[in-house]
A and B are shown apart, each in its own frame.
Chain A
Amino acid sequence: MTPPPTRDAYRDLLVKLMADDSRLYCLDSDTGLFAGVDFASAADRYINVGIAEHNLMGVAAGLAASGKIPFVNTMATFATTRALEALKVDIAYSGLPVRVVATHSGLSAGHLGPTHHALEDLAIVRALPGFTVVTPADATATEEAITQSVDLPGPVYLRLGRKATPALEAGPIELGRVQHLREGTGVAIFACGPHPVLACLRAADLLAADGIEAAVVNVHTLKPLDEHAIVTAARAAGVAITVEEHWRCGGLGGAIAETLSEHAPTRVARIGMPDTFAKVVGGQEHLLDHYGITGERIAATALTLIGGTRNDPGLP
């Protein structure tokens, strides 16, 4: 049975939590995610501010500064580009417990086009001091992330998608710690988000057929980064790949490269959206395929890294 989309899983869990915890607020910005939802006794804690993202974040900050715990709903690109100053000055500066639930991340807005894609949000939000940044890889992990986020003292950025994605069949996640999905020392592959993680698992299968055991590490928490686990995996393998539904600059790849160059210099190949806006029309899967965020590409990259050749066009 296909699990619900991550944003639906989040929605349903939030409504349940709000019933029993009067601190929790649900702030909406005309997303439509809560259409038809019966908040019952919590109805006065659902507030739709309309299409107004700066106001949305300011309202969240004011509520949080008053002892409430607001979950804020908008699309990932609007949260981090349109409303960035409010995230920075009103929320991050004061370390307020606002939970920014950013849907339609990466290429998940598909054919809706580049104005709705979020390929920059991880680079932006991880630069803000005090933010916890999480990209769960399936609906179950989303629920776990929310449960663990409620009482975190500072702000949280929760990166969700749009359509349903498969269940990972992995154990529970722990915020701040990576999740090891495959063990191996042939190459260390780090990923975040549903499609990148699934692509890495496919790559691991392809590499296994070539006799290479790849470690696949689900880095659901980009900030704070589980540096110890990342360094350990990279040291064991000697080469590393990062995979994300994000521009190659500044997101997961950037974070891993920063950490490894400081603690355990390792050759890191970053797989993600190249330095372009999406120039073709298509759904999320088509775009991922077109721009090379695939198991086949990851496996080929691994072989190139291990083989030490410079033939892969993805490498400089």
Chain B
Amino acid sequence: MSTPSTSTTTGPATARGTGPVTDRIREHIVAMCAGPEGGHLGGSMSLVEILTTLYFQVLRVDPADPGAEDRDICILSKGHGAIALYAVLAERGFFPAEELATFGRPGSRLMGHPVTAVPGVEMATGSLGHGLPLANGFALADPARRCFVIVGDGELQEGSVWEAAMSTAGLGLDNVTVIVDRNGLQITGRTEDTVPLEPLADRWRAFGWAVREADGHDQAQLREALTTRVPGRPVVVIARTVKGNGLPAMQDRVESHYARLGERQFARAIAVLRARARRRCS
């Protein structure tokens, strides 16, 4: 049976010894980007608190029974955030963290975009704009479950998102929540220089959604927003994030989208993350 998680993500180091879970998740992400294929570094780092809040504080899921019928659904529609999802699923207990070292290697089930072979992954994503239509279906199948969709802000340029959003509101699917990873960047630059999304909150309201905004790296704010329910209306949480959050040299930079870290870059990144963790705990 699925139960809400009671794990905490702040506080002193856990039995694993390296610090709160978001610090460990960031280290996992960096390690996967130091593998043979590299990884989507920036857009995974911006997701860390969003995914951690969901999987440790909000979702009714059971790592021992990923297919439990009464579970909540979480779809990473911005599938290129896969390495963040893998790190969170591993820390949450869906599979051993040791498997993360196989990312992108021959024979691994951890691909650059998530597939259903990985315990905890609901649907294969990677082509943008698919998550919300899927969530509409999951939501219709069982009104008692909550269905979360994590989208990127660049992803909102895909029309299929809005096609689905009209449907969510039109069908009154108030068990659907979208979280926008609003990091302001896409491959070719700032979203607002490419296809402006603002006024984003107004757009969602115009489509019939209730809007909440939150600092996307503040788990208390995220928890408050993600547990909001509005009868008869779906909810969108616009989470203001920083692409590459955690690594000052990478933060808010287009170059952080995809990175293959060499040995020295990897060592430096880990050192930066651990220094930050130490400053927080002292």
Contact = CB atoms under 8 A, between A and B. Distances in A.
A73 to B, nearest CB: 15
B124 A55 contact: no
B12 to A, nearest CB: 40
Given A47-B140, A52-B167, A62 B160 contact: no
B15 interface: no
A59 B140 contact: yes
Interface string A176-200: 0000000000000000000000000
Given A67-B141, A94-B116, A59 B163 contact: no
Contacts of A47: 140, 171
B123 A90 contact: yes
Contacts of B213: none
A90 B140 CA distance: 16
A59 B124 contact: no
Nearest to A45: B140
A55 B122 contact: no
Contact of A58 (B116, B137, B171): B137
B134 A58 contact: yes
Contacts of B127: 85, 89
A212 to B, nearest CB: 51
Nearest to B116: A94
B124 to A, nearest CB: 5
Given A66-B138, A68-B141, A59 B130 contact: no
Contacts of B137: 58-66, 70
Contacts of B241: none
A86 interface: yes
Contact of B133 (A50, A59, A70): A59
A70 B137 CA distance: 10
Interface of B: 69, 115-116, 122-124, 126-127, 129-130, 132-142, 160, 163-164, 166-167, 170-171
Interface of A: 47, 49-50, 52, 54-68, 70, 85-86, 89-90, 93-94
27 contacts: A49-B136, A49-B171, A50-B167, A52-B163, A52-B166, A54-B160, A54-B164, A55-B136, A58-B132, A58-B134, A58-B137, A58-B164, A59-B136, A60-B137, A62-B135, A62-B139, A65-B138, A66-B137, A66-B138, A66-B141, A67-B141, A70-B137, A89-B124, A90-B123, A90-B134, A94-B123, A94-B124
